[in-house]
Amino acid sequence: MPETLSLLRFLLEAQPGSVALLSVTAIFGGGARAVGAQMAVRADGAAFGTLSGGCVEAAIIGEARRVIASGRPESIRIGQGSRMMDLRLPCGGGMDVLITPLNDFAPLRQAHAALQARQEVTLRISPEGGLALIEGDAGTGWAGPEFQVALRPALRLVIAGQGAEALALARLGAAFGAGLCLLSPRQEMLDAAAALGAEVLLWTDRRHPPALRADRHSAIVLLFHDHEWEAGLLQAALASDAFYIGAMGSRATQARRLQGLAAQGVAAAALARLTGPIGLIPAVREPELLALSALGEIATRHQAACAVSAPSLLAAAS
């Protein structure tokens, strides 16, 4: 959820009583966003985020301003089954939106600090308007009388390389909203990545790679044509919590890579975590296309990893 920190900042910059948090609590039929999608609206009509892809946002903002003025939380239905007959979603579906006027920002400040520290938390919202924060990813959906939303750190890309592929992936990752870290022996690449907001680490001794910082929302991608740079870093990567570890190269290169790691004592279970060749598109050679192919695979794996670790409570209950 790359926009979550920005949403929290928008809320925290408002005055108590002048802003509302909107949460999609149910979907009927099709929908542009998922259960748990959130939006923020201020009393002056300024808003951050979207719940419908833009088709009924003006009406949603109007409803939120009305609820802010009343000071009382309210759940409204948009589209299928709504009392507002003139509001229809193009997909023909419907959604329930819980609008919560905010006076107590403490849980939001805690959530913002936790996400900045790359910690998972879950925001619980009562229909009466109370907010509470619990540690960890407890899933998204109704938990008894309260609705909760799992807040997860943004995807983080740890990229190692010295060619055009590494910088191309960093640029795409920055556009996607991912956190970035680039390891390279080339200072000009590090300078270009730093301009994108990336953490950069100069790596000049292939025998001693820099220490890796990778949590379960991190992907580690090695993009070396000279594969002698890989062994030490791959061992460290396979010992990390990263959900994705991949290295550029052909199937033959991958086979040699696995054989070399096995000879160094890396266990079979760890070797099974190493993806190669990388990407959704086979046999890609152009740097930009390879970066797009790899990012697509990484984003797909990240979404699947989040769903497996904390499935929707609504899905579990159905």
Candidate from 40-49, 54-63, 250-259, 276-285 with smallest mean pLDDT: 54-63
CATH number for the region 156-305 comes to 3.40.50.720
pLDDT digits (tens, 9 = 90+) for 21-45: 999 999 887 666 789 999 999 999 9
Q: What does the DSSP assignment read for 156-187?
A: EEEEEESSHHHHHHHHHHHHHT-EEEEEES-H
pLDDT digits (tens, 9 = 90+) for 57-114: 888 899 999 999 999 999 988 875 556 555 555 556 778 999 999 999 999 999 999 9
Phi, psi of 68 (to 5 degrees): -60, -45
Q: In what helix (H) or strand (E) does residue 39 lie, and over which residues does it extend?
A: strand 38-42
Q: How confident is the model at residue 3 (pLDDT cuts 50, 70, 90)?
A: confident
pTM score of the predicted model: 0.85
Q: How confident is the model at residue 315 (pLDDT cuts 50, 70, 90)?
A: very low
Q: Report the pLDDT value the prediction gives residue 31, as an integer from 0 to 100.
A: 63
Q: Report the pLDDT value the prediction gives residue 314, as an integer from 0 to 100.
A: 52
Query: Does position 175 have pLDDT exceeding 80, yes or no?
Result: yes
Query: Does position 4 have pLDDT exceeding 80, yes or no?
Result: yes
Where would I find the beta strands (DSSP E) of 196-280?
199-202, 218-223, 244-247, 274-275
Q: Report the pLDDT value the prediction gives residue 33, as an integer from 0 to 100.
A: 75
Tokens 């910082």 locate to 213
Kindly give, in sequence order, each residue whose CB lies less than 8 Å from that of residue 249, ignoring residues fewer than 6 positions away.
227, 257, 276, 277
Q: Is the dihedral of CA 142, 78, 49, 132 positive or negative?
A: negative
Tokens 């009382």 locate to 72
Query: Does position 298 have pLDDT exceeding 70, yes or no?
Result: yes
Query: Does position 252 have pLDDT exceeding 50, yes or no?
Result: yes
Q: How confident is the model at residue 158 (pLDDT cuts 50, 70, 90)?
A: very high
Residue ranges, CATH 3.40.50.720, the chain: 156-305
Q: In what helix (H) or strand (E) does residue 2 lie, and over which residues does it extend?
A: none
pLDDT digits (tens, 9 = 90+) for 178-221: 999 999 999 999 999 999 999 999 999 988 998 889 999 999 99
Q: Give the integer Cα–Cα distance in Å for 35 and 153.
A: 18
The arithmetic mean of pLDDT across residues 127-154, rounded, is 95
Q: How confident is the model at residue 318 (pLDDT cuts 50, 70, 90)?
A: very low
